[in-house]
Structure 1
Amino acid sequence: MKGALPYMAMAVAQVSQVGLTLAGKKAIETGMQNFSYVFYSNALTCLVLLPAAFLIHRSPNRPRLTFSVIGGFLVLGILGFLTQIVGYAGFAYVSATVATAIINLIPGFTFVLAVIFGLEKLDNGQWSVWVKLIGTVVSVSGALIVTFYTGPAIIETSYLNSVSPQNLLGQSSNWILGSFLMLLDSVLAAFFIITQAIILKKYSAVLIVMFAYCSVIVVLSFLASLVLEHDPNAFSLQSRTRVLAILYSGLFGAGFQVTLGAWCVKMKGPLFVAMFHPLGIVIAAILGVIFLGDGLYLGCVIGSAVIVIGFYGVMWGKSKEDKKVEVESSKSPLLQDNSEKHTVVVP
């Protein structure tokens, strides 16, 4: 049961991530700006994490803060801020289904960065390593299929059927811009996961790391809003949709989904967390069609199937490596005991 907890936690986190995507898209559609939305969401998260962090990580067991750890908090906050801003900007141009599909490029970028930073090792003698590598490539290929191949409509939207050819050209341009922003968001998210893994190795108090991360985002989003958003209604919460979206994002975004992800990064490593992003595509497709009126196309279905195949390949390789580590760790104490038993002391 303990070994299954990270899998269950990441499955729940992906459900929350899809809901976060839909909530952000709805809030932006009401005219709310990205910076003010990010500010409110992370400010609410800070209010939740502050008492929880210092209640769970009490003083005697709390890791010691150093300048390098504080610097890591700052870098993590900057990456998180850029990831959220770019991501919400991309959501405005593409459907929730396509946004979630492109985010599935995160495992590929994370795998490459994990190898570069020494968090994943490539041992040519292990089949599990090749399965993880091939599975990552397959998953990225599936995300590219969803991005660049639409195909015939399985479920059409009344919106797309009612627009004129001129508007369709504008829709295509927005689609390309939105796809580019989501690709950039995937790269930033991969750097965020790797940075998170490095920091948690130095400072293991997950909730304090998340509180510091959200605090940096609150400051950056507030300053950016003052400089770039000249509309005095940018911080307005008159719309009920905005309030509900902020409540969901603040409680189930960084407060729940990102914290679960950080705990799983600490337990299982960055690639494990990144490879759960493909599961969100199925949930996003269903919720996008039901609640947002998004269309469902053949390219999305084919790409999703390819993504899932790659995902399970990586998970299989990861499980084989975990079993090997467990066997080696269980054997080492026995070998040490046997060596001590057979040691002869010569006077």
Structure 2
Amino acid sequence: MAIGRWEFKAYRKFKPHLLMVVAQMGYTFLYFITEASFNHGMNPHVYITYRHFVAGIVMLPFAYFLERVSLTLNMYFASLRYTSPTFVASMVNTIASLTFIIAVVLRMETLDIRNTRGMAKVVGTVVSLVGVMIMTLYKGPVVKNLWGALIHIHGNGTIHEDWLKGSILTIGSCITWSIWYIMQAITLKKYPAQLSLTTWMSFLGGAQSAVFTACIQHKPSAWRIGFNIDFWSTIYGGVVVSGLIIFIQLWCTEQRGPVFVTMFNPLSTILVAFLAYFVLGEILYTGSILGGIIVIIGLYVVLWGKEGDQKYDINSQKDSSLNNEEQTETKIQVISSVDK
């Protein structure tokens, strides 16, 4: 019985960690299936519109029976069309640093550099950012692949054509993505219904994306998709990513805060680089490996600081509850003496 109780407590403690690992694994596959779809010729803005509506339709019944942001994704997947999955997955790691800075400014995240916890979060954030910069700016020698690509993604040549434009779009999406995480945390305090919130975000994001796409895409043929990679990438993006994974992130945001959620982004970067090298045969540089190791070190340092904050908050709540009980007992004794 004691072992069973310990396992249950350990599961409850590390449940947000496990869910975020699952979410990052889901994001990893998203990079490759959407790249294949864009290579096939699908418009990224049309993809986002369909994906939002698919997510809204799928999540609606769950939200109804169990419980009674569009600009970011448009820039994000447009940058994927101009660069590569490894580059985009690396740049996404800046979201953690940006979210931490915004959360500190809005006083949603506690920061006290005089103690070990606060210093760990600052140092971990800086180290993760340094790792991302190394992966982005420093290539180094090429790591030779002993075999060719196991899977070939054929395209029409319209992808990877403008790295400068892709970099600007990626940075813009990371900034708006950080703000989106902060808005989630604020909204969940007044509307703690993750399924319903996911459904509303999907429908509203689809409507916004439809208007945006209609303004820049005037070809009716762009809205037609067949029963091919375009269809499956839309279904996967809508059901798994915009539906299930967004719900997981909302739940973890309510439990641990927005910074905790964003600090798991480096895991997807490592998985993307691994699959791109061993499965798709993309070129991998030593700078990517070095930067990935540094990013992981920074991730664990920040998580260690976050765990310290959580223990401190629990102890503070216990102390405050004990003080309240002592004050209540004192009041009872005073009232009893007065009655006597």
The residue type equivalent to 1:235 in the other structure is: W
The answer to whether the 8 Å contact 2:71/2:209 transfers is no
TM-score, normalising length: structure 1: 0.86
Residue 141 (structure 1) aligns with: 130
Alignment coverage as a number of residue pairs: 316
Is 2:39 aligned against 1:26? Answer: no
In structure 1, stretches of 5+ residues that fail to align are 59-79, 160-169
Which residue of structure 1 aligns with residue 108 of structure 2? 119
Q: Which amino acid aligns with 2:13?
A: G
Match of 2:74 in 1: 85
1:85-116 deviation per Cα after TM superposition (whole angstroms, max 9, x unaligned): 11111111222112111100011100110011
Q: Partner of 1:35 in structure 2?
A: 45
SS in 1 for 2:82: coil
- CA-to-partner distance for each residue in 1:119-138, whole Å, 9 max, x for gaps? 11222432101100110011
Q: 1:185 to 1:273 in 2, by over 3 A?
A: same
**CA distance in 1 between partners of 2:129 and 2:292 (Å):** 11
**Contact 1:106–1:274 (8 Å) recurs in 2:** yes
Aligned to 2:329: 341
**Preserved contact between residue 78 and residue 166 of structure 2 (Cα < 8 Å):** yes
Give distance in 2, aligned partners of 1:271 and 1:253.
19
Look up the match of 2:170: 182
Equivalent residue number for residue 6 of structure 2: none
1:199 aligns with 2:187: yes
Equivalent residue letter for 1:175: W
SS of equivalent to 1:151:
coil
Equivalent residue in structure 2 for 1:44, among 27, 50, 54:
54
4+ residue segments displaced more than 4 Å: 156-159
Shift, 1:291, TM fit? 4.1
- The aligned counterpart of 2:27 is 17
Instruction: Report the Cα distance in structure 1 between the residues aligned to 2:278 and 2:254, rounded to whole angstroms.
Output: 35
Identity among equivalent positions (%) equals 29
Over aligned residues, Cα RMSD in angstroms? 2.1
| Counterpart Cα distance in 2 of 1:130 and 1:13 | 28
1:66 is aligned to none
Q: CA deviation at 1:215?
A: 0.8
Q: Report the alpha carbon displacement of residue 342 of structure 1 after superposing the two structures with TM.
A: 4.5
Q: Which residue of 49, 62, 65 maps to 1:55? A: 65
Distance (Å, rounded) in 1 between the aligned partners of 2:106 and 2:198: 22
Deviation at 1:82, TM superposition (A): 1.1
- Report 1:220-259 matches (<5 A): 220-238=208-226, 240-259=228-247
Q: Distance in 1 between matches of 2:168 and 2:21?
A: 27
Give 1:224 deviation, angstroms: 2.3
Query: Could you tell me whether the CA contact under 8 Å between 1:134 and 1:310 is conserved in 2?
Result: yes
2-side partners of 1:50 and 1:300: how far apart?
A: 41
Residue 323 of structure 1: which of 295, 303, 311 is its match?
311
Match of 2:5 in 1: none
The aligned counterpart of 2:207 is 219
Q: CA deviation at 1:158?
A: 8.1
Q: Secondary structure at the match of 2:140?
A: coil
Deviation for aligned residue 1:118: 1.3
Counterpart selection for 2:266 from 260, 278, 287: 278
SS in structure 1 of the partner of residue 307 of structure 2: helix
Conserved 8 A contact 1:20-1:252: no
Matched, 1:304 2:298: no
- Secondary structure of the structure 2 residue equivalent to 1:2: helix
* Partner of residue 314, structure 1: 302
Q: Distance in 2 between matches of 1:186 and 1:116?
A: 17
What SS does the aligned partner of 1:150 have? coil
Deviation at 1:273, TM superposition (A): 0.4
